[in-house]
Amino acid sequence: MVSRVIPVEPFDLVIFGGTGDLARRKILPGLFRRFTSGQMPEGARIIGAARSDHDDAEYRATITEAIEEFVPKDRRDPAEVAAFVERLSYIKVDATGEDGWKKLAKAMRDDAVQAFYFSVGPSLFGALAERLHLHKVARPDARIVVEKPFGRDLASAKELNATLAAHFDEHQIYRIDHYLGKETVQNLMAVRFGNVLFEPLWNAQYVDHVQITVAEEVGVGGRGTYYDKSGAMRDMVQNHLMQLLCLTAMEPPTRFEPDAVRDEKLKVIRALDPVPRSNIVRGQYSSAPRIKSYADDVENPDSRTESFIAMRVDISNWRWKGTPFYLRTGKRLKARMSEIVIHFKEVPYSIFDEDAGRHANVLTIRLQPDEGMDLRVTIKEPGPGGMRLVDVPLDMTFADALGEQAADVPDAYERLIMDVIRGNQTLFMRGDEVEAAWAWTDPIISAWTDRGDRPLAYDAGSSGPADALMLLHRDGRRWRELAT
Ligand code: NAD
């Protein structure tokens, strides 16, 4: 199979916060990979913009180090790294002051795509948007990319949307949810809407339930102060898990185009039932040998923030009424694993003996660690001994199925940045989508803050609180084992 890499138009990409963690760890290594894949045209330029003092040479050296740290050795050739950083320059810009803006305005070309990546805290988004206009840096067709968190509730998300809307049209605003940039997430759409096999079964008549898990082994790390004010519901469920749920549950869009896809996702969010208290389990990790507890990690002994959440979500529409979606995410769990699992119903009536066993099809869409899909189908156990049934996987690990091509699967960030340059908003959240997600999340969070609920303790390295298991047991179901 021949890989088809489509180059993009020449561009000026300004990364505000170009010296920060996200830029060093994700954005620039991602752009380097697109450079080595031949997707970056001659006229592509990247301008790092931040508060600290650097000249171009220092900035290039910093980013060379970042690439050496975050791109595996066998995927970077020193000559290519050197050629890539030649595309970089640096301008000292203060988001809240007037420093550097004139120089930035002068550096922008008229004949290249303009994109501004706001890789800074959300409190600076307004100031950046305003100054981009004030100093005539951005053309009317410029694009801005904003990072999560997009607000911490409906009110702040509305405020943020209004701030950006004061200077940019919706079609210029790219709200990143990097889960949407994952190869498998797009494959979910390809599988659903590119085959006749699945879609007729993709409803409450044939699907027993859906499980969406995003489990992490790591704790809160250096993000303790931010995380303790946020928690798993705001940090993971409102955005990433919600997006995965939407793509799984949405109706077929009329076309694979930004607004058609986003309209369908929005309809799903609006059809979500309010979640009663009995359908939510919140947890917080306690210490384990050589592992600090959550409270110690965030240095807040009385913290009531959840590092784990499991919930049953019901969707009131024709397609899904009666089929629960179980969501689960947490830190310091047994394994790092993200997947969407569609559990189909058993056959309506089995013609086989009881001892042949009862089986149901399961479709697993793995986001990490190894992106891929696996469909379990029931067959006859080979050999003598009568009709005994057994489940076997029809496995489609991308690396096996696609060989070299799979090795070039772009990371979520690099794909999304290239989509910004192409002007394709399909994989970005629209303002009304974000607001609808907060409108659903807000009452859930305020109910437990009003009551002063404490999350349940769970051992670091476990599968979360025992009550999370009960959430499914009481419905006669079981979570998938957390394992890699
Ligand atoms: P960081 O603190 O490492 O970097 C912040 C950057 O902003 C630095 O380059 C700093 O110089 C610049 N900056 C700060 N104040 C400025 C000002 N007044 N004018 C100009 N530049 C200024 O932060 P980060 O971890 O890179 O995160 C950036 C954004 O991305 C945040 O909104 C964060 O929530 C979001 N985010 C980060 C990650 C991650 O993995 N780091 C993941 C998801 C979202």
**Residue 253 in domain:** yes
- According to the model, what pLDDT value does residue 357 have? 77
Shared domain for 82 and 189, answered yes or no, is: no
Same domain for 415 and 318: yes
| Token pair 């369908």: residue | 264
Euclidean distance between CA atoms 162 and 150, whole angstroms:
12
Which residue has the least CA distance to atom 38 on ligand 1?
22
Distance 22 CA to ligand 1 centre (A): 7
Distance between CA 258 and CA 253 in Å, rounded? 10
Question: Do 92 and 199 lie in a common domain?
Answer: no
- Ligand 1 geometric centre to CA of 440 (Å): 28
Q: Using the atom order of ligand 1, give the atom closest to the CA of residue 24.
A: 26
Q: Whose CA is nearest to atom 10 of ligand 1?
A: 17
* For ligand 1, atom 6: residue with the closest CA: 17
239 and 117 within one domain: no
Which residues neighbour 165 within 8 Å (Cβ) at sequence distance 6 or greater? 431
Token pair, residue 261, equals: 């896809």
Q: Is residue 443 part of a domain?
A: yes
125 and 205 in a single domain? The answer is no
Integer CA distances (angstroms), 3 to 7, 29, 266, 402, 410, in order: 12, 21, 34, 10, 12
- Asked if the structure places residue 163 within a domain, the reply is no
Which residue type occupies 461?
G
- Provide the pLDDT for residue 389: 86
**CA 284 to ligand 1 centroid distance, Å:** 27
Work out which ligand 1 atom sits closest to the CA atom of 122: 32
Pocket of ligand 1 (CB under 6 A): 16-23, 50-52, 93-96, 119-122, 124, 147-149
Pocket test for ligand 1, best of 120, 180, 413 (most atoms within 8 A of CB): 120
79 and 211 both lie in a single domain: no
pLDDT at 2: 47
Which CATH number does the domain housing residue 443 bear? 3.30.360.10
- Tell me which residue has its CA closest to atom 18 in ligand 1: 95
* Residue 24, domain CATH: 3.40.50.720
Q: Supply the range of the domain harboring residue 43.
A: 11-147
Q: Which of 128, 147, 166 marks a domain boundary? A: 147
Tell me if 337 sits within 8 A of 483, measured CB to CB: yes
Is 152 a domain residue? Answer: no
Distance 321 CA to ligand 1 centre (A): 42
116 and 198 together in one domain = no
Residue 355 has a pLDDT of 78
For 29, phi then psi, to 5°, come to -60, -35
Coil, strand, or helix at residue 483?
Answer: coil
Nearest ligand 1 atom to the CA of 50 is 21
Residue to probe by mutation, ligand 1, list 14, 21, 91, 226, most atoms within 8 Å of CB: 21
Same domain, 61 and 197: no
Residue to mutate (ligand 1; options 22, 96, 216, 240; most atoms within 8 A of CB) = 22
pLDDT of residue 393: 85
* Structure tokens that stand for 170 in this block: 């919706």
How far are the Cα atoms of 84, 184, 206 from residue 203, in angstroms, in the given order?
Answer: 48, 21, 6
Q: How far apart are CA 22 and CA 29, in angstroms?
A: 10
Residue 6 resides in a domain: no
As for how many domains the chain has, the answer is 2
- CA of 21 from ligand 1 middle (Å) equals 7
Q: From the candidates 167, 178, 209, 240, which is the catalytic residue?
A: 240
pLDDT at 408: 66
Distance CA 68, CA 403 (A): 25
User: Are 141 and 185 members of one domain?
Assistant: no
Residue owning the nearest CA to atom 23 of ligand 1: 20
240 has catalytic annotation: yes
Say whether both 223 and 320 belong to one domain.
yes
Task: Give the total residue count for the chain.
Answer: 484
- Residue 158 belongs to a domain: no
Query: What are the two backbone dihedrals, phi and then psi, of residue 477, each rounded to the nearest 5 degrees?
Result: -130, 170
d(CA 445, ligand 1 centre) in Å:
26
Best mutation site among 69, 104, 119, 150 for ligand 1 pocket (most ligand atoms within 8 Å of CB): 119
Protein residue whose Cα sits closest to atom 39 of ligand 1: 22
* Residue nearest atom 31 in ligand 1 by C-alpha distance: 121
Considering the domain architecture, whether residues 134 and 192 belong to the same structural domain is answered as no
Question: Of the candidates 104, 131, 147, which is a domain's last residue?
Answer: 147
Burial status of residue 461 (CB atoms within 10 A of its CB: 0-12, 13-18, 19 or more) = middle
Taking 3-state DSSP, the helix, strand and coil percentages for the chain, each rounded to the nearest 5, stand at 40, 20, 40
User: Mean pLDDT by 10-residue block, N- to C-terminus, for the chain (484 residues)?
Assistant: 70 98 96 93 96 97 97 94 97 95 96 97 94 95 95 96 96 96 88 93 98 97 91 97 97 96 98 97 94 95 97 98 98 96 93 82 90 87 84 75 67 93 96 98 95 95 96 97 86
Tell which of 125, 147, 169 closes a domain: 147
Q: Do residues 260 and 318 both lie within one domain? A: yes
CA of 52 to the centre of ligand 1 (A): 12
Does residue 172 lie within any of the structural domains? no
Q: Closest by alpha carbon to 209, among 316, 357, 379, 327?
A: 327
What are the C-alpha distances in Å from 168 to residues 95, 113, 173, 253, 264?
Answer: 17, 16, 7, 26, 24
Nearest CA to ligand 1 atom 9: 17
- Residue 223: what are its φ and ψ, rounded to 5°? -95, 20
**C-alpha of residue 310 to centroid of ligand 1, in Å:** 30
- Please report whether residue 92 resides in a domain: yes
